[in-house]
Amino acid sequence: MSMTLAQAKEKLHKYGQEHVLKYYDELSAADQAALLEQIESSDMDILDSCKHQKELLERGVITPLAAMELPEIEANREAFTAAGISAIQAGKVGAVLLAGGMGTRLGSDAPKGVYNIGVTRELYIFECLVNNLMEVVRRADAWIHLFVMTSDKNHEATVKFLTEHGFFGYRPEYVHFFQQKMALAVDYAGKVYLEEKGRMASSPNGNGGWFISLKEAGLLDLIRREGIEWLNAFAVDNVLQKIADPCFIGATIRKKCVAGAKVVGKVTPDEKVGAICLEDGRPSIVEYYDMTQELMDAKDAQGKPAYHFGVILNYLFNVEELERIVAQSLPLHVVEKKIPCLNQDGEPVKPQEPNGYKFENLILDMIHQMGSCLPFEVVREKEFAPIKNKTGVDSVESARQLLEQNGVTL
């Protein structure tokens, strides 16, 4: 039984959101109940955050964090790989596909992973990722549990697609879905938008909530039962990335770090990727929009750019360390976005320009909670082909080119 109308009014009044009930009387009984349920379950404490954006994102003291670069990796490749393979064979490694995002820049309503990037044949983004993971499964001769995070907006479509395609050959009992949480979306005055007369506008709450959501879905029990000690979390949109890469896992273990981050050398100091660093002595990532000229010009002890390495959203986390930090809150990012909503006349509109804020937690902030982190350099042309846009930079076009360069038939 969800809250009563009186209780909903009281909650909305507390947060100055009474307008949410504007169309309540017009709704069917089922829609009324659904709206009350959404009001009850929504976190409205976050709404105030858009008024304190500056304070939310204040940074500590940034200093360099040395990466393990290619020559060192090459010199130790065999030993690292062997260590990674034995961890995989011992069942200590799991993979987490972050696929809860909306992929709005790609301009399709479907989940990003179902996008067909083939030219002469069908080749879906999900398929590329499974193929990449299968390479390691074959090499280690051991299956790796794959956890797939979806959101309210794309869960059904994702599960249906992967099931219909037989998980592209992955063993179904090694695939586990879980859903992330949603966060309300507001206009510039902090008022929650309605996306339907009986529904507040909401969007996935960012990729930083994945471990909490995985835990709430009961999957931590499976992780403990199976003895999984490491989780490799990765983005849905990098079709070239190596997943559960034995060399990366082995290097992180050998260096006695509790986390690892795959990084690439930035092409220009102001490239739009987050730079790995230390912040107040702990591993951290400076977002490209926080990169000051001073940081871009800074040099390390060898005279090389001190903040040269950018993250590619492929991280390794030690499970015990994740359990330690799970109760710690992550900073909330208030992001300007285009939010589909009802206009004054109650008709649905899809704005062409940003019209308000969404609230997100980001996985990169989890790195700052880790006791240590190994930045592990990879060759960009071999491991980084993100698909964010339809054309241009980081697009379907650029990813196709990179896939072909790496011998993938499209």
Nearer to ligand UTP, 304 or 390 (CB): 390
**224, 218 in Cβ contact below 8 A?**
no
How many angstroms separate the CA atoms of 226 and 156, rounded?
27
Name which of 149 and 341 has its Cβ closer to ligand UTP: 149
Q: Of 64 and 260, which has the nearer Cβ to ligand UTP? A: 260
Of 213, 215, 203, give the one whose Cα is nearest residue 46.
Answer: 203
- Please name which of 151, 56, 75, 57 lies closest in space to residue 113, comparing C-alpha atoms: 151
Q: At what angle do helices 246-254 and 125-140 cross, to 10 degrees?
A: 60
Report, in Å, the least distance between residue 174 CB and ligand UTP.
20
Minimum gap (Å) between residue 77 Cβ and ligand UTP? 28
Q: Which is nearer to ligand UTP, 68 or 341 (CB)?
A: 341
The residue sitting closest to ligand UTP, measured at its beta carbon, is 101
Contacts of 349 (CB under 8 A, 6+ apart): 340, 341, 342, 343
Closest CA to 82 of 228, 250, 229: 250
Q: Which is nearer to ligand UTP, 254 or 338 (CB)?
A: 338
Residue 235 near residue 96 (C-beta atoms within 8 A): no
- What minimum distance in Å lies between the beta carbon of 112 and ligand UTP? 6
Distance CA 342, CA 22 (A): 12
Q: What is the total residue count of the chain?
A: 410
**Min. distance of Cβ 293 from ligand UTP in angstroms?**
25
Question: In 3D, which of 321, 314, 296, 317 has the Cα closest to residue 306?
Answer: 296
Distances (CA, A) of 324 to 196, 211, 212, 330: 40, 11, 12, 13
Q: Where are the alpha helices (DSSP H) in 99-218?
A: 125-140, 155-164, 210-216
Which residues does residue 277 pair with via DSSP β-bridges, in sequence order?
284
Are 138 and 99 in contact by the 8 Å Cβ rule? The answer is: no
> Min. distance of Cβ 339 from ligand UTP in angstroms?
12
| Nearest one of 261, 255, 213 to 235, comparing CA atoms | 261
Shortest reach from residue 363's CB to ligand UTP, in Å: 7
By C-alpha distance, which of 235, 180, 208, 253 is closest to 368? 208
Taking the complex as a whole, the smallest distance from the CB of residue 180 to ligand UTP amounts, in Å, to 6
- What are the tokens at 77? 């490749």
- The overall longest dimension of the chain from CA atoms, in Å, is 70
Distance in Å, CB of 136 to ligand UTP, minimum: 19
Compare residues 121 and 350 and give the one whose CB is closer to ligand UTP: 350
Instruction: Compute CA 331 distance to the chain's CA centroid, rounded to the nearest angstrom.
Output: 15
Closer CB to ligand UTP, residue 180 or residue 318? 180
Q: How far is the CB of 211 from ligand UTP (least distance, A)?
A: 12
Looking at the Cβ atoms of 152 and 323, the one nearer to ligand UTP is: 152
Tokens matching residue 67: 């990466």
Residue 184 Cβ, how far from ligand UTP at the closest point, in Å?
13
Q: Which residues in 34-52 are b (16+ Cβ under 10 Å) and which e?
A: bbbebbeebebebbebbee
Q: For residues 102 and 142, which CB has a smaller minimum distance to ligand UTP in the complex?
A: 102
Q: Closest separation between CB of residue 203 and ligand UTP, Å?
A: 7
Closest CA to 357 of 341, 375, 378, 369: 341
State the residues that interact with ligand UTP by CB under 6 A: 98-105, 112, 149, 180, 204-207, 235-237, 313, 388
